[in-house]
């Protein structure tokens, strides 16, 4: 199978590229990535040595480029990871989120239609469901939970999901959608909670926890997410949504404290809360477990230890990021709050 992966120079897309190359010796992988601030070719260094891997630096909102790539490569399937993915950035500048996440998805759907691509998988998020209250641990997001978004990021992802389902109903485009909880693991850009806290502690910077740190996220090791997407791509029912999550709920403060404990250092500081901050995410994954036999394999404590070890042994990867545009971004976001 030849699989086109958009956003493969990012965190989850990069892990998915390696998942495919390691697991399916006969598969070819074509990566399309614009290399925004979040895309890093160093993540794909080994893949770029593999003859089964091809990389295109291209914007998914550019119809001409996307058309050219589909004409040349004729992929059997496309998996769309490409997105603007950081809630905080979406609060600062929503426009690019709408352009990439909604319009870019439409460009890809059109290309799949025109070329008769056998599968289009949209990588979505549990954030499309909004949030759950902190005092109702019995509630979980199911695939039937109404879409109820809070941030420009989640609104753009929900819009894309609706478009994907509309293409299925209207044109019969063979689509599937996964909505996953928060991922963590190797190659995670160090502006998201877990890698930010690890790299900050290692560099002696404070660890900025929003509000009181009571917000809850449901964490999944990135490889378990890759396995879920792979199962859906090969066996999921067309037109269906699958929730993905491993019942690993933690408050942000618990996560940050666990990182401090693993590293033996790190000064936690409480900073101004995020606007519209979602309280709790929690996924009910029973549909994908029942239909496709997916189960998470990595316990949070083990995954976090592995992740901390990865950042300790891959300093060059994240130091290159910190020395560049990320550093300017860091000052803009946190300079006034903790310096």
Count of other CB atoms within 10 angstroms of residue 273:
13
Q: Which of 209, 220, 232, 244 binds ligand TYD (CB under 6 A)?
A: 209
Give the integer Cα–Cα distance in Å for 8 and 60: 12
Q: Least distance in Å: CB of 163 to ligand NAD?
A: 14
**Tokens (6 digits) for 16:** 């998915």
End-to-end CA distance of the chain: 51
Q: Which of 183, 199, 215, 257 binds ligand NAD (CB under 6 A)?
A: 183
Q: Least distance in Å: CB of 86 to ligand TYD?
A: 6
127 is catalytic: yes
- Contact between 58 and ligand TYD by CB under 6 A: the answer reads no
| Residue of 184, 182, 176 whose CA lies nearest to 288 | 176
- Contact 163/106 with Cβ under 8 angstroms? yes
Count of other CB atoms within 10 angstroms of residue 161:
21
- Contact between 210 and ligand TYD by CB under 6 A: the answer reads yes
120 or 311, CB closer to ligand TYD? 311
Query: For the chain, where are the alpha helices, taking DSSP H only?
Result: 11-23, 63-73, 87-92, 95-97, 104-115, 152-171, 193-203, 222-235, 252-263, 286-292, 300-313, 315-322, 325-338
| Residue of 222, 233, 292 whose CA lies nearest to 75 | 233
Give the integer Cα–Cα distance in Å for 86 and 157: 12
The contact mask relative to ligand NAD for 14-53 (x = CB under 6 A, - = no) is -------------------xxxx-xx--------------
Choices 10-18, 132-140, 162-170, 292-300 (CB under 6 A): range interacting with ligand NAD:
10-18
**Tokens (6 digits) for 51:** 């003859």
The contact mask relative to ligand TYD for 73-112 (x = CB under 6 A, - = no) is --------------x-------------------------
191 is catalytic: no
User: Looking at residue 132, what DSSP letter applies?
Assistant: B
Count of other CB atoms within 10 angstroms of residue 76:
15
Residue 60 contact partner, candidates ligand NAD, ligand TYD, none, CB within 5 to 8 A by sort of partner: ligand NAD
- Contact 230/131 with Cβ under 8 angstroms? no
Q: How far is CA 193 from the centre of its chain?
A: 13
The contact mask relative to ligand TYD for 111-130 (x = CB under 6 A, - = no) is --------------------
Choices 37-45, 191-199, 288-296, 307-315 (CB under 6 A): range interacting with ligand TYD:
191-199
- Contact between 304 and ligand TYD by CB under 6 A: the answer reads no
281 is catalytic: no
- Contact between 252 and ligand TYD by CB under 6 A: the answer reads yes
Q: Where along the sequence are the contacts to ligand TYD (CB under 6 A)?
A: 87, 182, 192-193, 196, 208-210, 215, 217, 252, 274
Q: Where along the sequence are the contacts to ligand NAD (CB under 6 A)?
A: 6-7, 9-13, 33-36, 38-39, 59-61, 81-85, 100, 104, 123, 125, 157, 180, 182-183, 189
């Amino acid at each position: 199978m030849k699989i086109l992966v958009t956003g493969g120079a990012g965190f989850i897309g990069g892990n998915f590229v390696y998942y495919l190359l390691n697991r399916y010796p006969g598969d070819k992988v074509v990566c399309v990535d614009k290399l925004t601030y979040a895309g890093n070719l160093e993540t794909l260094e080994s893949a770029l040595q593999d003859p089964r891997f091809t990389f295109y630096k291209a914007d998914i909102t550019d119809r001409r480029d996307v058309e050219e790539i589909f004409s040349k490569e004729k992929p059997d399937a496309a998996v769309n990871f490409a997105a603007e993915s950081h809630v905080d950035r979406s609060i600062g500048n929503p426009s690019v989120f709408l352009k990439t996440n909604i319009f870019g998805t439409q460009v890809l759907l059109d290309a799949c239609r025109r070329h008769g691509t056998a599968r289009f998988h949209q990588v979505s998020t549990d954030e499309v469901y909004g949030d759950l209250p902190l005092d109702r641990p019995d509630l979980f997001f199911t695939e039937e939970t109404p879409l109820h978004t809070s941030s420009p990021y989640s609104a753009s992802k929900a819009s894309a999901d609706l478009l994907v389902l509309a293409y299925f109903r209207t044109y019969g485009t063979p689509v599937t959608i996964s909505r996953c909880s928060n991922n963590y693991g190797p190659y995670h850009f160090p502006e998201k909670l877990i890698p930010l806290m690890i790299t900050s502690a290692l560099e002696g910077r404070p660890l900025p926890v929003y509000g009181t740190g009571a917000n809850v996220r449901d964490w999944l090791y990135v490889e378990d997410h890759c396995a879920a997407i792979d199962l859906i791509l090969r066996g999921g029912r067309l037109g269906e949504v699958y929730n993905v999550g491993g019942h690993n709920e933690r408050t942000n403060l618990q996560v940050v404290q666990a990182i401090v404990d693993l590293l033996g250092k790190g000064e936690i500081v409480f900073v101004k809360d995020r606007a519209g901050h979602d309280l709790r995410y929690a996924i009910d994954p029973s549909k994908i477990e029942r239909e496709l036999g997916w189960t998470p394999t990595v316990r949070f404590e083990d995954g976090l230890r592995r992740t901390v070890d990865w950042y300790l042994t891959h300093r060059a990867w994240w130091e290159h990021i910190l020395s560049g545009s990320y550093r300017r971004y860091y000052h803009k976001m946190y300079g006034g709050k903790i310096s």
